[in-house]
A and B are shown apart, each in its own frame.
Chain A
Amino acid sequence: MSKESNSIGKTLLDLPANVWRSIFRNPLPSSDRGRAATSFTNFFLHIQPVRVSRQALRPSYTMGLGLISFFLFVILTVTGLLLMFYYVPSTGMAYDRMLDLRSSVAFGVILRNMHRWAAHAMVAVVFLHMCRVFFTGSYKPPREFNWLVGVSLFLLTLLSSFTGYLLPWDQLAFWAITVGTSIAGYAPLIGKELRFMLLGDANVGQEALLRFYVLHVVVLPLVLTIAVAIHFWRIRKDGGLAKPEPTPVPALPAGEVATTEAAPALVAAAATAPARKFTIQGLVRGPLIKVGNLEEDTVFSWPTLLIAELFVLLLTVAGVMAVSFFFNAPLEQPVNVMHPPNPAKAPWYFLGLQEQVSYSAFWGGIGVPGIELLLLVLLPYIDRGKEGVGRWFARQRVLANSIFLLFVIVNIVLIIIGTFFRGANWQFVSPF
């Protein structure tokens, strides 16, 4: 009896520890082996490599822009999900629900502010991230496809932000979307159809609100999440963040390994090793092969990378919250279809487009942006030079960097002109 109760008591006493150990297979690591196992056996941690190069951790190299984009997306998902509990996508109720957020919903104002400012920030940060990748030549082989995924993520970010812009159903939202969708109407052949399908009607109205809502809360976030997953996965498979070419090791001709299939090399290696027999358990292709050639300049992800990520997360959340405490998201008068504000302006990230459109509707709205997008997509297949990867403004890439910088500056200048120098009737005004 006493033995029985003793074992029950012991079972109960050990219960918390047993449950804990069933969830987390490893105790907090104290050795390198433990650090590797911790990264490897945890679902959330195994997305990251066990070891990460010091270069990828240097704040001056990445500036954490990709990670900030991701955390902003997380903030947007959480705040957006909460806002959905109170929002109704109806022209009659949407604006009232905006007012309710102010007056009768706990934390309504701060949630809406966070959602709005994080959305604006995400557009900016994703763009800056793209600039970082360009200026460090990080889109070069084998990372061409991930650049494409990145470009689509940029477009998805713009679309998400744009579709969300309509939902408050105030004057700003209504006319920004009216102007924005009219730009789509200028696309040759399909423009009119595209606009009609996007709005579900000839003009911005209830159908457009419903469509934009569905796109904003379901379709785009879903596609965006999948694209983010592919983006992250490809970073791992493409050998981590881009870094400068290591000094060549004579034993392993790096160029040959990189260009030829991995399988023959492995088979040949197995054949020439008479003493021991190897069987191939799995095949890791490309830059991940590390046979007796471990990169020296790496550190364990646990805890170095995790602490860095946590730091960026806290910084991002703190930044968004700070801005949201001091600045309220704009909410203008409810929609009045009769009276467009003068000037009617698109969201700021489309004001460069709107400025171009004011010169030529087709070329400004479709022609030039289309060519720019095509260049972005084709970039890693046009620029095949292998030099200057993994460094900011490498001298070998001065031409590519200059061209890209020119595009960036022109677009920023257009946005600044559209934002600050255009007044009533889109006349040139001085903000000073």
Chain B
Amino acid sequence: MAAAPKTNDPADQQIPRRQFLSWLSGIGLFGSAIAGVFSTFVFLKPRATYGQPNRFSIGRPDDFPSGARMAIDAKRVCIVREGNKVAAISTTCTHLGCIVAPTETGFQCPCHGSQFDVDGNVTGGPAPKALSWYQVSLTPSGELEVDKDNEIQTGTYLSV
């Protein structure tokens, strides 16, 4: 009689313990797999890129006469100056990333025919949204600096 509960007790516990351990190892293995996949993606996403920097100097304000709309294709921006106001508009088409060209009425994309007005708003074609405006600032050395990581509202100019 006294032995019966003793043999019962471990038997009762053994199943939960085994189950607990298999659950634990299951979670451990599954968790490791997920962590492995996740870290692979972390590894694959570059922390530093080797391409062009997104902040760059474009020269002195005097280089851009009033009324100028100068596209810098290498940097994919168009520098606009009206009076003493300067702005940088993206020339990367918001549709599929082609380079838009300045025209008399604004911008025109050669790839899929998107059209934009002088401020970069869509006036025709498949482009889903307006061309971005980037922040322009004056460095202490008196040069204009464009920051493509910093998108600003359409129509925001820098006074020089």
Contact = CB atoms under 8 A, between A and B. Distances in A.
Interface of A: 175, 178-179, 181-183, 185, 193, 196-197, 200-203, 205-207, 337-340, 342-344, 357-362, 424-427
> Which of the four size classes fits the interface of chain B?
20 to 34
A425 B110 contact: yes
B153 interface: no
* 7 smallest beta-carbon distances between A and B, as pairs: A425-B113, A182-B96, A426-B112, A342-B110, A338-B73, A182-B97, A201-B51
Given A197-B45, A207-B49, A427 B113 contact: yes
A202 B54 contact: yes
B128 A202 contact: no
B80 interface: no
A373 B55 CA distance: 40
A175 B109 CA distance: 14
A360 B129 CA distance: 12
B28 interface: no
Grouping DSSP codes into helix (H, G, I), strand (E, B) and loop, the A interface class, with mixed when no group exceeds half, is helix
B10 interface: no
B94 to A, nearest CB: 9
Given A178-B96, A183-B96, A207 B111 contact: no
Interface of B: 41, 44-46, 49-51, 54, 73-74, 95-99, 108-113, 125-126, 128
Contact of B50 (A207, A344, A361): A207
A182 to B, nearest CB: 4
Given A179-B97, A201-B49, A344 B110 contact: yes
Given A178-B97, A197-B41, A338-B99, A343 B112 contact: yes
Contacts of B51: 201-203, 205-207
A179 B49 contact: no
B113 A426 contact: yes
Given A178-B96, A206-B51, A340-B99, 19 more contacts: A197-B44, A200-B46, A201-B46, A201-B49, A201-B50, A207-B50, A340-B110, A340-B111, A343-B110, A344-B110, A357-B96, A358-B126, A361-B95, A361-B126, A361-B128, A362-B128, A425-B110, A426-B125, A426-B126
Most A-side CB within 10 Å, residue of B44, B96, B109, B112: B96
